[in-house]
Amino acid sequence: MIEHQQHSTRTIQHPGQLELEKNLEADQSFDWRTDHEVTAGQLLTVHFVFESNDQASGTLTYNADQLKLQDVDLSRHGDVEQKKGLLSIEVSDEGVHSGVATFLVKEDVIGTIDISMEELVIDHKSHESDVLKVNVVPGLHLEVEGRSVGHETEIVVTDENGNGVKGASLHVETEIPRVQTKEATSLYHDLHEQQESHWFPVGPNTQYYAYEETVTGDGEFIEISGNEQAKTYLKKSDAEPVDWSEIPVTDEKGYLVTRMLTAIEGDVSIQAVAPDGRKSEVWEGEIVKAIGDDQPENITFDWYNEHPNSQFIHFEAHPGTESGFIEVVEKRDPEKFYSAATKRYDASTKLVYDEHGEKRLYTSLATELEPGTTYAYRVNVDGTWSEALSFVATNRSRETKEEQLSTVKKPNSFLPYYFKES
């Protein structure tokens, strides 16, 4: 059975070993039928036995549209001749003669795989009692962990015994093709309704969806926003298709980690491919802007003389977020944020652009702070909280600029920013 288990990851389980034993007569064939799905990329092994103490030969036939012969391993000395759809085997040593032929399944199959053993000759006579065993080698087991924008995706690939598969690569497809910038360049942002447009910088290897191409007097462009009211364009000459082969292969434990899959949100399909050609079932999922990419980050403080006992608090989040606020309470308050003394300050918001792309910048003004007092604070964006941190309130001049009080992912400065009204 193929089972889908949905937890924090999606787990694919492939069929266990399927075996068939059948007594054959000379010049007789059979169809192997299964209710299980045999997927492209799996290996099919055919075990054959000549029950003889003398010379034996036979011809194994198979559907070449379904199967591709990979290897033949004889237990005794013999000759093998390969042709499309045919495998002629002849052995001459004394004893029981057996062998294994390995095939690669070329296409998904539910129903019938055509395999037969014909022209069986043992002791120069037609043989009426032979054994043919068919064994489907299970495909790979794929686990995907981490599917939110900007965060690492962990991939684990194992075989049917739960052992890690070394050197497995990923075949990746997205519903809409992705492109990335070749090097640092600029995007063109066009606000039709407001009759406003501007260019803003982006860094190299930044991913976007390629919605459609357009030609203007300034050259060829790719529309990357998918927004009818505010379109964003990338010069076609500055873009290249995302090269999924840059994702590393699995290590000895079948493990790999990458950020390429979660560069932007959207549907994605992933299939693991082992060096020997075995594949996992295709994993289909969605990259989302979940907790992590919505979570406030780069929280900074400004102290201005024109706002005595007040501090501006800036924080960033995903551009798709809508609202934010900050809660502040004296750190020594035993009830912390559940205290009646907790103050809430709503934030104004603007979409901004820097070399990393689009984001939303929030600004709150915390008032009535006592200089020298230590406050605990936490930031909320669309229901997602930051960790609880603290600061000491004081009055400072504008020349102090910004002080970073939380974990930094990028340099302190927010400039240059290009604003547009929300």
* Per-residue pLDDT tens over the stretch 17-41: 333 334 333 333 444 555 556 777 7
Residue 179 has pLDDT above 90, yes or no: yes
Average pLDDT of every residue of the chain: 72
Strands (E), 39-137: 43-50, 56-62, 67-74, 78-83, 86-91, 97-105, 109-122, 125-126, 130-137
Cis peptide before 138 (omega within 30 of 0): no
Highest mean pLDDT among 76-90, 297-311, 350-364: 76-90
Q: What is the pLDDT of residue 293?
A: 46
Summarised one tens digit per residue, pLDDT across range 272-292 is 988 877 778 778 888 876 434
CATH topology of domain 297-404: Immunoglobulin-like (2.60.40)
pLDDT tens digits for range 331-390 = 888 888 888 888 999 988 887 766 556 678 888 888 888 888 888 888 888 777 777 888
pLDDT at position 53 is 56
Confidence (pLDDT) at 154: 92
**Three state DSSP letters for 23-54:** EECCCCCEEEEEEEEECCCCEEEEEEEECCCC
Enter the CATH code of domain 178-241: 2.30.30
Query: Has residue 266 got a pLDDT over 70?
Result: yes
Residue 188, class by beta-carbon neighbours within 10 Å (0-12 exposed, 13-18 middle, 19+ buried)?
middle
| pLDDT band with cut points at 50, 70 and 90 for residue 124 | low
C-alpha to C-alpha distance for 205 and 184, rounded to whole angstroms: 8
Name the percent of the chain lying above pLDDT 70: 65
- Predicted pLDDT of residue 76: 67
pLDDT for position 353? 67
Q: What does the pLDDT read at residue 66?
A: 82
Comparing 58 with 379, the larger pLDDT belongs to 379
In angstroms, the CA 152 to CA 164 distance is 20
DSSP 369: P
The confidence band for 419, taking pLDDT boundaries of 50, 70 and 90, is: very low
Of residues 194 and 167, more confidently modeled: 167
Kindly list the strands in the beta sheet with 230-235, ordered across the sheet, starting from the edge strand earlier in the chain.
196-202, 185-191, 230-235, 219-223, 212-216
Instruction: Flag the least confident range among 235-239, 248-252, 307-311.
Output: 307-311
Given this model, what pLDDT does residue 79 score?
Answer: 79
Q: What is the pLDDT of residue 401?
A: 41
Sign of the alpha-carbon dihedral angle for 411, 185, 203, 354: positive
Cα–Cα distance, 36 to 204 (Å, whole number): 46
Question: What's the pLDDT score for residue 254?
Answer: 95
Closest CA to 255 of 371, 327, 173, 158: 158
Which range has the worst mean pLDDT, 196-200, 235-239, 356-360, 407-411? 407-411
Taking the whole predicted model, whether its pTM rises above 0.85 is answered as: no
Please give the DSSP secondary-structure letter assigned to residue 352.
Answer: E
Structure-model confidence comparison of residues 145 and 288, the more confident one = 145
CA–CA gap between residue 52 and residue 152 (Å, rounded): 59
Q: How many residues in the chain?
A: 422
Cα angle 55, 57, 60; round to 5: 160
Question: Of 25-29, 100-104, 164-168, 321-325, which has the strongest mean pLDDT?
Answer: 164-168
Q: Are 379 and 315 in contact (CB under 8 A)?
A: yes
12: pLDDT strictly greater than 60 = no
Q: What is the dihedral of CA 161, 166, 169, 170, to 10 degrees?
A: 40
State the pLDDT at residue 370: 85
Topology of the domain covering 16-137? Immunoglobulin-like (2.60.40)
pLDDT reported for residue 417:
30
Specify the residue for token string 């002080």: 403
The pLDDT confidence band at residue 245, using thresholds 50, 70 and 90, is very high
Which of 243-247, 315-319, 356-360 has maximum average pLDDT? 243-247
Instruction: State the average pLDDT over residues 256-269.
Output: 89
Which region among 43-47, 170-174, 214-218, 256-260 has the lowest average model confidence (pLDDT)? 43-47
Domain chopping of the chain, boundaries: 16-137, 178-241, 297-404
- Residue pair 116/29 in contact (Cβ under 8 Å)? The answer is yes
What's the whole-number mean pLDDT along residues 301-318? 70
Same fold, 178-241 and 297-404: no
